Structure 1
Amino acid sequence: MKMQLDLDSLSEATSGAIGSLVSTTVLYPLDTCKTKYQAEVQAHSNRKYRRISDVLWEAISKNQVLSLYQGLGTKNVQSFVSSFIYFYGYSYFKKLYLKKTGKKTIGTTANLIAATAAGVSTILITQPLDTASSRMQTSEFGKSKGFWETLSEGTWSEAFDGLGISILLTSNPSIQYTAFDQLKHRLLKDKISSKSGTKSSPEALSAFSAFMLGAISKCAATCLTYPAIRCKVMIQAADSDNDKRTEAEKKAQKTISGALYTILKREGLLGFFNGLPAQILKTVLSSALLLMVKEKITKSTWLLMLMIGRYMSVNHPKLKAN
């Protein structure tokens, strides 16, 4: 049982991390435009970027199109590591729940708890990478610094800017993956193997079904949590802002209450949803692509992990499951 648990968790983690790497790389220019647009806080008449497309045109006009990829390396490391930890933890906590309760399926509430626990574990480990990538994306085109240089500009504690709101935002993937798993389970319930005593590979959705379910689940999660997402970007990008605010104002913006007050003061209540269409476009495409890739390589990854597990059992008998 132990070997099977590790096999499934590692398979989920590896396929999820690869899917995240692909989606992050493909959609990174859109992510940069979205982040720079969200980080700006001005009265509407003074906004530098009135639409997300304005960020793209600025890069083109300054011959800095490649700057849309500034911070890609850091973001890829963050996406791969966080996805691996998240999917491993998510799979592990779900299987642990089923083992302890003796149930065959996991309900929505337990699924949410497992997803949240995996999300918090991920945030605590990868927050500095997330902060650095946000600062690099919101830097002026052509003037982005490297990962270590970006983090060394502030204190170690500043590398965890936005940690509180990031933990709050674990509700986003919790909602997303819980919705995805529940929809997937209903779609595949007639395809579940009835064979007993055999070790069969996990059922996978078609590419189109995975893409659509991923899009629907992420859209719902994004709409519900967007005000917190906007605040998080502002907190992490406070030092990269190019407006004429004082240091005291920038420092105040690094708190959740300060970010909320700044948005409310300068943009009003609707400001909390400024950039929502861009966020939905990026995150829905990203998550749908991630889950589509993940579903298509899950069986291959599972077989690879099975081969590794058998090799380790044969060559290292002490590692064999009891």
Structure 2
Amino acid sequence: MGGFDMQSLVDATAGAIGSLASTTILYPLDTCKTKYQAELRTPNLRKYRNLSDVLWEAISKRQVLSLFQGLGTKNLQSFISSFIYFYGYSFFRKMYIERSGYKSIGTKANLLIAAVAGACTVAITQPLDTAASRMQTSEFGKSKGLWKTLSEETWGEAFDGLGISILLTINPAIQYTAFDQLKQRLLEGQLGNPQSLSALNAFMLGAASKCAATCLTYPAIRCKVMIQAAESDEDTNEEPEVRSRKTVSGALYAIWKKEGFLGFFKGLRAQILKTVLSSALLLMIKEKITKSTWVLFLGIRRFLFLNRSRLKSS
């Protein structure tokens, strides 16, 4: 493990575990939210009037377990992307501090580092993200597996929404920058100079930072869902129109044409509910298991070092 930066590795592992846990816990809500956002119809023809309609559809069709369709792919994507993001963010942040000579990092530099880490993450994990969205937005009971979903599409289709996903790296950049800055100020103001936040404080800071980021970037989030959504049975008669939605400009035009200005914010409350809970849980879990992760990695490193020493001595 000598080739790795230990702090970055610990942050990446703790963040990935936190992401895995929060994704699994909130996955049914995420499926309902995504299917609700992906529907694009005029108000009088909508299948889903609100988020609960998606849930009732699953119940009425006896497809409650379909609320978990794509969970494995989503968890894989979530774990990999969180690991890459937190490792990159921690690594670049540490490198900046070492080279600049500053004891702390400013907001602008923090935003830039977070955006770079996010862009690297998106470029690597986009096919998994697209596949997970396709599986979530498929008709209940008709979702395909990861390999079949990817193999039936071209490489270009696997990267649907890449541009807007890179644009949306500003979302976690805003979130984690706000969280880090608020955390630093909160810890400095506490007696005894504690090294970590309480679970409640971590949850509250995570929720507040994610809520702000989500509201600022929501129209782009809705477009991304539409671009990556699976085609429904009703879409077969509107193939040219469906294809046009697979671009950012096409998605924006389709929303404006069928739903008007308010359509850009359809599902905002559901998005805030899901993402705030998810991010708050992620950061809370990450904050609480970081110390345990440190102990684990130090134990592994010591074990490997002792074994290496024994092999050399023998």
Q: TM-score per shorter chain, which class?
A: over 0.9
TM superposition shift of 1:306 = 2.4
2:105 is matched with 106
- The superposition leaves residues 185-238 of structure 1 with CA deviations (integer Å, 9 ceiling, x where unpaired) of 0011256988xxxxxxx9221110010000000000000000000000000015
Report whether the alignment pairs 1:254 with 2:246.
Answer: yes
Report whether the alignment pairs 1:73 with 2:65.
Answer: no
Aligned residue pair count? 309
Shift in CA distance, 279/65, structure 1 to aligned 2, threshold 3 Å: same
Report whether the alignment pairs 1:235 with 2:234.
Answer: no
Shift in CA distance, 250/184, structure 1 to aligned 2, threshold 3 Å: same
Q: State percent identity of aligned pairs.
A: 72
2:188 is matched with 189
Distance in structure 2 (CA, Å) of the matches to 1:192 and 1:185: 13
Distance in structure 1 (CA, Å) of the matches to 2:84 and 2:232: 29
Moved over 6 A (4+): none
Which consecutive unaligned segments of at least 5 residues does structure 1 have?
195-201, 318-322
Distance in structure 1 (CA, Å) of the matches to 2:233 and 2:85: 31
Matches within 5 A, 1:275-286: 275-286=267-278
2:44 is matched with 45
Matches within 5 A, 1:173-212: 173-190=172-189, 203-212=195-204
- The superposition leaves residues 115-162 of structure 1 with CA deviations (integer Å, 9 ceiling, x where unpaired) of 001101100110000000000000000111100111122211100000
Distance in structure 1 (CA, Å) of the matches to 2:191 and 2:158: 45
- The superposition leaves residues 6-28 of structure 1 with CA deviations (integer Å, 9 ceiling, x where unpaired) of 11101100000000000000000
2:295 is matched with 303
Give the conservation status (yes or no) of the 8 Å contact 1:5–1:92.
Answer: no
Shift in CA distance, 104/11, structure 1 to aligned 2, threshold 3 Å: same
Shift in CA distance, 89/8, structure 1 to aligned 2, threshold 3 Å: same
TM superposition shift of 1:307 = 2.6
Shift in CA distance, 91/4, structure 1 to aligned 2, threshold 3 Å: farther
- The superposition leaves residues 67-102 of structure 1 with CA deviations (integer Å, 9 ceiling, x where unpaired) of 000000000000000000000001001001001101
Q: Which amino acid aligns with 2:106?
A: G
1:160 is matched with 159
Give the conservation status (yes or no) of the 8 Å contact 1:28–1:72.
Answer: yes
Shift in CA distance, 314/241, structure 1 to aligned 2, threshold 3 Å: farther
Give the conservation status (yes or no) of the 8 Å contact 1:137–1:144.
Answer: yes
Shift in CA distance, 33/104, structure 1 to aligned 2, threshold 3 Å: same
Give the conservation status (yes or no) of the 8 Å contact 2:138–2:230.
Answer: no
Which consecutive unaligned segments of at least 5 residues does structure 2 have?
310-314
1:197 is matched with none
Partner of 1:239, secondary structure, is coil
